[in-house]
Amino acid sequence: MLSFNVLQHQVVALSAVEPQHVFFHDKNLSFTEGYVLFVGASPRLEGIKVETDSAGSVSESNKRLAKILRRDRLQDGMTVRMASCSELAANYEDLKRMNEMYWKLEKSATPVGLLLPWLPSQARSNKNEATLGLFNLISHYITLRRNAEVAYSDAFDFLIAEGEEDHDIVGDTSLISCITMYLGAHPEWKANAVAEIQKLIETHTDTNSTLPLHQRLSAIPISAWEDEMPVLELITRETLRLVNNGTMLRRNVLEDIEVSGKIIPRGAFMAYQMGDVHLNGEYYPDPLKWDPARFMSGNAQSEAPYIGWGTGRHPCTGIKVAKFEVKMILALMLTRYEYTLVDAAGAPTMQVPEPNRNDITRPKTECFIKYKKVME
């Protein structure tokens, strides 16, 4: 356990698995307040509303998400359609603008910008510009849906019906990219994934159909995507184990608590490094090796601690959406295209970029994909 200060705030970094139960299950710890320090605010303990997340905004958000992300709605769209409305999903110019603004936000997440969000800098200027652009873009579509004569089942319509104000409504591509790279470096697993997708298509669609691939995939029932793709489940789980190793944060908002014989005072922030679990050789031998077989039934590693989808009081609410989206995009990619990994000179390579554990935005090295279309 390591304690240090960020400005005037105490941060206690936990390690190993012993305090994991406290970090993920203790009702004194707030998920929402845990991230306030690093999103542009400078919180003070006096300003904390003393209640647990279960009675606050996170719980309410999860309830709304559970209604929005129903199985029947998953069949009608992907990320943008699921999270906003059909009009935005159909406007490719605005989708392009949205993508550009999100990339600008991503690139503005510098270490200095995170620790000193009030400091004038180009990163701060870019962040403010992109945030305002996203707010205005999304607000435009909220206004459209609020004034529409016919209500749909889109997320915006649901939140409007719930009585939400515009500013409240405004308030996993990296995983797919990593899976694509790992499959390119492991042809045996790539072949297994392609075979599984082909079987799914043959089982649930007309093999003599001349419809485009995306239309055939859309005819596959959601239950099949969830229950009949064990290979892609293993691949996704192992990729998350390797790449999803950031730091989780909480804040103690109620009273002092004891963890491993140490006192965590009220108001202190707590940090938990996911790599202490996912890259722990005691649980996962040769932990830096990409090996989906770890999680096959009967393998002891399949029962090892795993927090890739959250755990405790804050599991990932959108896990079904995320998994469905990953499987759908991989099915399109692996069936419609043939590809190989290449270096900057275009030469074939099996070397996947090594993650930079000290930089969340870029790996230490680069690789590229050479592809050709083989199916419409």
pLDDT band at 163 (very low <50, low <70, confident <90, very high): low
Does 173 score more than 80 pLDDT? no
**246 touches 9 (CB < 8 A):** no
Quote the pLDDT of residue 99.
Answer: 87
For residue 336, which amino acid is it? R
192 within domain boundaries: yes
Quote the pLDDT of residue 169.
Answer: 46
Going by C-alpha positions, the residue among 256, 269, 272, 254 that lies closest to residue 33 is 269
Quote the pLDDT of residue 259.
Answer: 87
Residues 6+ apart with CB under 8 A from 330: 176, 179, 180, 193, 197, 232
115 within domain boundaries: no
How far apart (Å, rounded) are the C-alpha atoms in residues 83 and 266? 36
Radius of gyration of the chain (CA): 22
pLDDT, one tens digit per residue, over 42-97 is 334 444 444 445 445 555 555 554 544 454 444 444 566 656 777 887 888 988 99
Helix ranges (H only) for 151-247 are 155-161, 166-170, 173-185, 187-204, 213-218, 222-227, 230-243
User: What's the length of the chain?
Assistant: 376
Mean pLDDT for 173-185 is: 87
Does 103 score more than 70 pLDDT? yes
Mean pLDDT for 352-365 is: 71
Quote the pLDDT of residue 59.
Answer: 55
Does 117 score more than 90 pLDDT? no
Task: Please indicate, yes or no, whether the overall pTM of this predicted structure exceeds 0.75.
Answer: no
Quote the pLDDT of residue 212.
Answer: 85
Does 367 score more than 70 pLDDT? yes
136 within domain boundaries: no
Strand pairing class (337-342; 257-259): unpaired
* Concatenated DSSP letters of 325-353: HHHHHHHHHHHHEEEEEE-TTS-B---PP
In terms of pLDDT, which residue wins out, 278 or 212? 278
Quote the pLDDT of residue 55.
Answer: 47
129 within domain boundaries: no
| Number of domains making up the chain | 1
CATH label of the domain that carries residue 51: 1.10.630.10
Please give the share of the chain, as a percent, with pLDDT higher than 90. 27
**219 touches 205 (CB < 8 A):** yes
Quote the pLDDT of residue 160.
Answer: 57
353 within domain boundaries: yes
What residues make up the domain containing 165?
2-85+152-373
DSSP summary character for residue 269 = E
pLDDT band at 289 (very low <50, low <70, confident <90, very high): very high
pLDDT, one tens digit per residue, over 306-353 is 998 888 887 877 788 788 888 988 998 899 999 999 988 899 998 888
pLDDT band at 287 (very low <50, low <70, confident <90, very high): very high
Does 361 score more than 80 pLDDT? no
Least-confidence region, from 86-90, 164-168, 224-228:
164-168
Quote the pLDDT of residue 43.
Answer: 38
105 within domain boundaries: no
123 within domain boundaries: no
Quote the pLDDT of residue 359.
Answer: 66
Does 225 score more than 50 pLDDT? yes
Mean pLDDT for 2-19 is: 82
106 within domain boundaries: no
264 beta partners: 257
In terms of pLDDT, which residue wins out, 212 or 200? 200
Least-confidence region, from 59-68, 151-160, 175-184, 312-321:
59-68
In terms of pLDDT, which residue wins out, 224 or 169? 224
